[in-house]
């Protein structure tokens, strides 16, 4: 009995004995929870600190870029090296911050992981750019002697360019890989604090990548094209935008430029008119003949009715060699605006006033970047009435400009900037008859191609060809704008809006020289301007319609390199304006549209206006 009571008593007491154990377990659980909370808080704090470090270091690196550029442009080699080293230390700190175990764990966490991953790519790419891109370029730059590097009147030292090629190419590849990594990041789930700097970095890197790609090809091409191995001859076409052509202007003045180990000399000078008519015509592919007529191969003045410079250049080379018997290795095109950019670097050229017998004395004795455009595209026609004498003046001025370039007295940085600006505005184009060289040139804007690797997928082109047979385009002001309109049947649509105004004086028929107005020789009343306006769309798209001043008008339709081509002719009296809109549909490209226009006498930014976006209803 007592044993049973004891047992019963112990059963009654067991719950009381268990309470301390339960408390201990609860305390243990709370302790673990508290530990996890504290550890999580510490981890979050650590990650926040690392993120702050990444942001601060990358911002500090970005702030050094303008100083680095300024050091390079000002030829402060020691300063450039010091700035590049400082920049590299910041990117190294940012990279070290993301190379952290906790950071790598955070990358795998749903929702927030993509932001940590994007920040990691940003930091590592910045460090790669600094170490594999900027630093090698700065080190190469430190070895260059710009005064001996650029072509001039004496043999140049082209070896540093050849030696720099591998370094620049490697740097360009490193930048390209970093750009591809950043471009591959999906920004849809990123917070603004990560998305904004990522987008900015993409933009900056794309720009640097393009610049280094150009630099890499220049270092590969320049020695050979400047005659390092054997002399090279280039036919130079001086395009006159006062009588407009698709790639700029009528190639009235011609000259042969010889490059021998970097030494430049100007040889034979002539004019398009002096070459006469080519019968039979130089053969040009049927597509372009259909769009621009057989004149492409009959007259040097018309080789650039097509906007495709490789076609114009190869045709011009054949004409020159058939007409003169002199072989050339390539063709260079340049207009008076680009000549002005060169004069900004070389300084003014002096003219004696005896360049053309009988020329009036109001032509300037000194040509500068500020007055060369007006002189060559307007004043010369007022002061010189004989077309052959005009051609002579053009040839003389062109020779003086190239003589100043060849003298080696130009500011190297200004010269490079001027030539780069001219190429970017499509006022300078280059074509080589050497296939390996042309294959590299074709990758860049300076090729003047309408198809191939230098053409963006959604490129639109608007080109102008004079139909007056005169020099009235100096007075025509033009603007072109793309308007992205609402999609139709799932396809993008774009309107190409072209506005032209004839600003010639009301009495242009009598107040302007007959050579400027054309004097009605080609059926256009004096003072009026006739222009063939040509619009190109992206490949696979189609032209839906053409509208002039609100009314549908017929248009000529063709194809060139699988791109649809539409053409409308306008006729403007003094003071008159017109607006033509081509609508392109069935556009399959999803990249932002790009606009290319014929370079005119005006600044390109005043002609090619920013793209406009039409507001669409949500149901569309």
- Bond into 280 cis (ω within 30): yes
Alpha helical stretches, state H, 74-191? 77-98, 101-107, 113-128, 135-143, 146-149, 159-183
Instruction: Give the Cβ contact number of residue 180 at 10 Å.
Output: 12
Distance CA 418, CA 398 (A): 16
Percentage above 90 pLDDT, the chain: 48
Q: What is the pLDDT of residues 329-367, one digit of tens each?
A: 999 999 999 999 999 988 999 887 666 665 556 788 899
Q: Give a yes or no: residue 449 inside a domain.
A: no
Query: What integer is the mean pLDDT of 406-433?
Result: 86
Q: Give a yes or no: residue 376 inside a domain.
A: yes
431 shares its domain with 493: no
Q: Are 91 and 58 in contact (CB under 8 A)?
A: yes
481 shares its domain with 403: no
List C-alpha distances in Å: 51 to 44, 46, 99, 123, 179: 10, 9, 12, 11, 22
User: Which pLDDT score, from 0 to 100, does residue 33 have?
Assistant: 58
Distance CA 607, CA 611 (A): 12
| pLDDT of 164 higher than 80 | no
Distance CA 71, CA 302 (A): 45
Of residues 533 and 362, more confidently modeled: 533
Query: What integer is the mean pLDDT of 58-75?
Result: 73
Tokens of 372: 């060369």
Q: Give a yes or no: residue 83 inside a domain.
A: yes
Domain end (from 383, 411, 440): 440
Which of 46-50, 54-58, 80-84 has the highest mean predicted lDDT (pLDDT)?
80-84
Q: Report the CATH number at residue 475.
A: 2.60.40
Q: Give a yes or no: residue 236 inside a domain.
A: yes
User: Which pLDDT score, from 0 to 100, does residue 5 have?
Assistant: 46
Q: Give a yes or no: residue 506 inside a domain.
A: yes
pTM of the model: 0.82
Q: Is 272 helix (H, G, I), strand (E, B) or coil?
A: helix
388 shares its domain with 460: no
Which of 84-93, 396-405, 494-503 has the highest mean predicted lDDT (pLDDT)?
494-503
User: Which pLDDT score, from 0 to 100, does residue 275 have?
Assistant: 94
Of residues 237 and 188, more confidently modeled: 237
432 shares its domain with 483: no
Of residues 5 and 417, more confidently modeled: 417
Produce one character per residue of 524-535: b if its CB has 16 or more CB atoms within 10 Å, e if not. Answer: bebbbbbbbbbb
CA dihedral 599, 278, 517, 395 (to 10 degrees): 60
Domain end (from 223, 251, 266): 223
User: Which pLDDT score, from 0 to 100, does residue 410 have?
Assistant: 73
Instruction: Give the Cβ contact number of residue 275 at 10 Å.
Output: 18
User: Which pLDDT score, from 0 to 100, does residue 596 have?
Assistant: 97
User: Which pLDDT score, from 0 to 100, does residue 25 have?
Assistant: 65
Distance CA 553, CA 80 (A): 58
| pLDDT of 430 higher than 50 | yes
Return the closest-CA partner of residue 472 out of 426, 425, 428, 520: 520
468 shares its domain with 416: no
Q: What is the largest CA-CA distance in the chain?
A: 148
Is residue 420 very low, low, confident or very high in pLDDT (cuts 50, 70, 90)?
Answer: confident
Q: Give a yes or no: residue 34 inside a domain.
A: no
| pLDDT of 11 higher than 50 | no
Query: What integer is the mean pLDDT of 369-395?
Result: 87
Query: What integer is the mean pLDDT of 56-76?
Result: 73
Query: What integer is the mean pLDDT of 600-611?
Result: 95
506 shares its domain with 404: no
| pLDDT of 113 higher than 80 | no
564 shares its domain with 487: yes
User: Which pLDDT score, from 0 to 100, does residue 319 have?
Assistant: 98
Of residues 262 and 473, more confidently modeled: 473
Q: Chain centroid to CA 101: how far?
A: 42
| Average pLDDT along the chain | 84
List C-alpha distances in Å: 38 to 43, 108, 135: 8, 21, 43
Q: Are 441 and 432 in contact (CB under 8 A)?
A: yes
| pLDDT of 4 higher than 50 | no
| pLDDT of 148 higher than 80 | no
- Count how many domains the chain has: 3
166 shares its domain with 61: yes
Q: What is the pLDDT of residues 573-594, one digit of tens each?
A: 999 999 999 999 999 998 899 9
Is residue 3 very low, low, confident or very high in pLDDT (cuts 50, 70, 90)?
Answer: very low
Is residue 297 very low, low, confident or very high in pLDDT (cuts 50, 70, 90)?
Answer: very high
Q: Are 569 and 533 in contact (CB under 8 A)?
A: yes
| pLDDT of 28 higher than 80 | no
Q: Give a yes or no: residue 95 inside a domain.
A: yes
393 shares its domain with 470: no
User: Which pLDDT score, from 0 to 100, does residue 1 have?
Assistant: 44
Beta-bridge partner residues of 488: 491
Q: Are 164 and 96 in contact (CB under 8 A)?
A: no
Domain end (from 223, 246, 261): 223
User: Which pLDDT score, from 0 to 100, does residue 60 have?
Assistant: 80
| pLDDT of 402 higher than 60 | yes
User: Which pLDDT score, from 0 to 100, does residue 132 have?
Assistant: 79
Q: Are 454 and 436 in contact (CB under 8 A)?
A: no
| pLDDT of 464 higher than 70 | yes
428 shares its domain with 492: no
216 shares its domain with 238: no
Provide the residue range defining the domain that includes 594. 456-613
User: Which pLDDT score, from 0 to 100, does residue 9 have?
Assistant: 45
User: Which pLDDT score, from 0 to 100, does residue 2 have?
Assistant: 44
User: Which pLDDT score, from 0 to 100, does residue 356 have?
Assistant: 65
Instruction: Give the Cβ contact number of residue 479 at 10 Å.
Output: 16
Q: Give a yes or no: residue 74 inside a domain.
A: yes
Q: Report the CATH number at residue 304.
A: 3.40.630
280 shares its domain with 394: yes
Q: What is the pLDDT of residues 184-218, one digit of tens each?
A: 877 777 667 667 776 777 777 676 777 778 778 88
Percentage above 70 pLDDT, the chain: 83
Determine which of 153-162, 248-257, 315-324, 587-596 has the lowest per-residue pLDDT on average. Answer: 153-162
Collect all residues with Cβ–Cβ distance below 8 Å to 283 and sequence separation of at least 6: 297
């Amino acid at each position: 009995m007592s044993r049973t009571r004891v047992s019963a008593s112990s059963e009654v007491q067991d719950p009381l004995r268990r309470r301390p154990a339960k408390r201990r377990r609860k305390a243990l659980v709370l302790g673990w929870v508290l530990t996890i909370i504290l550890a999580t808080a510490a981890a979050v704090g650590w990650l926040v600190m690392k993120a702050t470090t990444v942001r601060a270091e990358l911002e500090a690196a970005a702030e050094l870029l303008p100083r680095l550029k300024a050091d390079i442009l000002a030829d402060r080699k020691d300063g450039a090296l010091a700035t590049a080293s400082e920049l590299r230390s910041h990117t190294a700190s940012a990279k070290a911050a993301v190379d952290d175990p906790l950071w790598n764990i955070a990358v795998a966490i749903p929702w927030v992981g993509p932001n940590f991953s994007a920040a990691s790519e940003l930091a590592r790419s910045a460090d790669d750019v600094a170490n594999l891109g900027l630093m090698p370029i700065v080190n190469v730059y430190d070895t260059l002697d710009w005064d001996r590097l650029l072509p001039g009147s004496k043999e140049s030292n082209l070896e540093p360019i050849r030696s720099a090629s591998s370094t620049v190419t490697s740097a360009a590849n490193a930048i390209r890989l970093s750009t591809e990594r950043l471009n591959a990041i999906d920004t849809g789930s990123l917070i603004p604090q990560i998305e904004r700097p990522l987008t900015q970095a993409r933009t900056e890197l794309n720009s640097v990548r393009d610049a280094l790609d150009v630099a890499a090809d220049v270092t590969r091409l320049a020695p050979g094209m400047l005659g390092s191995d054997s002399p090279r001859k280039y036919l130079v076409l001086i395009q006159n935008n006062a009588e407009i052509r698709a790639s700029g202007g009528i190639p009235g003045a011609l000259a042969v430029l010889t490059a021998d180990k970097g030494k430049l000399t100007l040889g034979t000078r002539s004019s398009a008119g002096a070459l006469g008519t080519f019968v039979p015509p130089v053969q040009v592919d049927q597509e372009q003949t259909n769009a621009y007529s057989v004149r492409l191969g009959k007259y040097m003045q018309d080789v650039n009715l097509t906007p495709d410079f490789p076609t114009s250049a190869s045709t011009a080379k054949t004409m020159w060699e058939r007409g003169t018997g002199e072989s050339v290795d390539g063709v260079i095109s340049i207009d008076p605006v680009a000549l002005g950019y060169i004069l900004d670097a070389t300084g003014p050229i002096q003219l004696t006033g005896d360049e053309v017998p009988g020329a009036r004395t109001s032509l300037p004795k000194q040509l500068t970047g500020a007055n060369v455009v007006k002189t060559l595209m307007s004043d010369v026609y007022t002061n010189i009435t004989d077309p052959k004498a005009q051609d002579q003046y053009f040839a003389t001025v062109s020779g003086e400009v190239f003589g100043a370039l060849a003298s080696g007295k130009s500011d190297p940085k200004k010269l490079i900037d001027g030539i780069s600006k001219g190429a970017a505005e499509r006022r300078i184009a280059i074509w080589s008859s050497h296939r390996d060289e042309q294959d590299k040139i074709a990758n860049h804007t300076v090729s003047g191609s309408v198809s191939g690797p230098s053409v963006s997928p959604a490129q639109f082109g608007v080109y102008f060809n004079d139909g007056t047979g005169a020099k009235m385009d100096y007075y025509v002001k033009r603007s072109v704008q793309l308007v992205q309109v609402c999609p139709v049947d799932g396809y993008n649509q774009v309107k190409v809006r072209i506005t032209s105004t004839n600003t010639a004086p009301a009495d242009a028929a009598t107040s302007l020289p007959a050579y400027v107005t054309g004097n009605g020789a080609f059926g256009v009343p004096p003072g009026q301007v006739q222009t063939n306006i040509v619009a190109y769309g992206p490949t696979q798209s189609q032209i839906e319609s053409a509208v002039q001043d609100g009314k549908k008008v017929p248009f000529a339709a063709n194809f060139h390199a699988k791109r649809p081509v539409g053409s409308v002719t306008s006729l403007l009296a003094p003071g008159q304006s017109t607006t033509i809109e081509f609508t392109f549909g069935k556009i399959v490209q999803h990249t932002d549209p790009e606009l290319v226009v014929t370079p005119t006498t005006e600044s390109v930014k005043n002609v090619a206006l920013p793209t406009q976006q039409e507001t669409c209803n949500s149901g569309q």
